[in-house]
Structure 1
Amino acid sequence: MGETLSAKMLQKYFNRFELKYTISIPERDNVISNIIPFMELDPHIKKGYNNYEVRSIYFDSPLKRAYYEKIFGIKARVKLRIRYYPNFQVGDKELVFIELKRKMNENVSKSRVLVPFEDAFDIIDSHTPKAKKFYETASKEDKQSLNDVWYLYNRYNLKPVCLVWYQRSPYISKIEKGRFRITFDTNVRVRNYNFDLHTGGTGGNYVVPPQLSIMEIKFTSFIPAWAVHIIQRNNVIQEKMSKFASGLETVKILSLF
């Protein structure tokens, strides 16, 4: 039996800013020790753990439209993915999110639909009977999200191109609850074959070396002064890094050898 998803995990719509930093494990540990007086681990993490695993299947067009939009620095971008949190479920049902992630510079908005694990690849394709049946009973908001997903999926003939997974340690502010969080992603790996999410945690290749961690600062309106001070004190440098694009580059480079 998996853990019950928290209200935050079940949130279907996000609009916030995101800044990324690639740091060493010692730097990560130092930052965590600095933020502990102001932040705490997300409450939905399994008791006795300090992280959870995230697995995402990314989709792209045959001409790799989403990838090249990132590489060429297109300001307004959108990506489609299926996101899965192992060992988390609602009741006895195993669920995944079908997500659209839109980005305008550092501003990120997400809309997502919670669907049964075993039906995700059917529901993401509007032409299947399961997709049509799911749509019939979906909420107004979910129908709008599905319409957006299906438009993108059909317009660009999207197909799964890579599976990215990692361990995430998420911290939330004790003061700016729901408005400020920092996550640390480690052991970021990728593969471009076998898109079975149940076996996502094995094999693959590292997107960034295992001795590095991706720190993401996420906020709705501003970074608290105490956080700015900690970032400056640790001399971390912002980096425009995409796990999706870097993952595709990793498997592309490896395929040349």
Structure 2
Amino acid sequence: MQFRHEHKHDINYLDYLILRSKLKAVMQPDLNTNEDGKYQIRSLYFDNYRDVALQDKISGINRREKFRIRCYNKDFNFINLEKKSKINGLCLKIKATITKHQAAAILDHDTDWMAKSEEPLVVEFYSKMKSGQLKPKTIVDYNREAFVYRPGNVRITIDRDIRTGLFSTDLFNPDLPTVATGDQQILLEVKYDQFIPEVIANIIQLDGRRQTAFSKYAASRIYS
């Protein structure tokens, strides 16, 4: 497990068109993408009654973590449990595949089985649910284009149409009503290990586009 650099930028539609064209020329599309080069992500985030994960993000706490259940393209046959940690500005994501039945059990507060799981992340999540009283809080949906570059283990994603499921945590509802998370609708994320190759650094130079601390989870919680 290795912590990685992660930088986010707000971009406009013109930025998006220019960047996408340049990235396609030098980077490979992520294996998850479909025929049009995109895929849809749905994440269900967990927090406790004091909203610790939300408050830590808003306050910029140096060491923080959050748990989520994630699926792709509304295909509920492949689901991940994920923990994302941030320490000293570096990020680490750990994930474990779970079944739809297991995800449904978690949402129904049927969690005793988790303590006996062979997946360390599932056991840790169980412990955090019990000790920290973590509960489902909100759903975030968005469309993603992702590109990878082997040197530096670079991954660049462009997320659009970021939406929240309001007060619903109905993970398996393909027709879940959602609303846009404010004015921010295109987010560029750049992730890499120790260094970012010059060819990639030159492509993502964005005049006047400041780095942002935008959080999809925090933005979605404005409604709940």
Give TM-score, length-normalised by structure 1: 0.78
The one of 132, 142, 146 aligned to 1:166: 142
**Cα root mean square deviation, aligned:** 2.4
Amino acid at match of 1:95: F
In 2, Cα distance between equivalents of 1:186 and 1:121: 28
- What residue number does 1:95 align with? 78
CA displacement at 1:107 relative to structure 2? 1.0
In 2, Cα distance between equivalents of 1:64 and 1:87: 27
Q: Is the 8 A contact 1:187 1:209 kept in 2?
A: no
* 3-state DSSP of counterpart to 1:232: coil
Tell me the matched-pair count: 224
Task: After superposition, give the CA deviation of every residue in 1:175-221 in whole Å (9 maximum; x if it has no partner).
Answer: 527x00110000000024332223256422111437x3100001111
In 1, Cα distance between equivalents of 2:6 and 2:209: 15
Identity of aligned residues (%): 26
The one of 170, 176, 196 aligned to 2:151: 176
Amino acid at match of 1:145: L
CA pair 127-35 structure 1, distance change in 2 beyond 3 A: closer
- What residue number does 2:73 align with? 86
Aligned: 1:56 with 2:43:
yes
CA displacement at 1:31 relative to structure 2? 1.2
- What residue number does 2:170 align with? 196
Task: After superposition, give the CA deviation of every residue in 1:25-67 in whole Å (9 maximum; x if it has no partner).
Answer: 2111111122222112113322x22100000000111011111
- What residue number does 2:100 align with? 117
In 2, Cα distance between equivalents of 1:104 and 1:80: 15
CA displacement at 1:235 relative to structure 2? 4.1
Amino acid at match of 2:62: K
CA pair 127-199 structure 1, distance change in 2 beyond 3 A: closer
The one of 39, 45, 63 aligned to 1:76: 63
Q: Is the 8 A contact 2:144 2:158 kept in 1?
A: yes
CA pair 154-130 structure 1, distance change in 2 beyond 3 A: closer
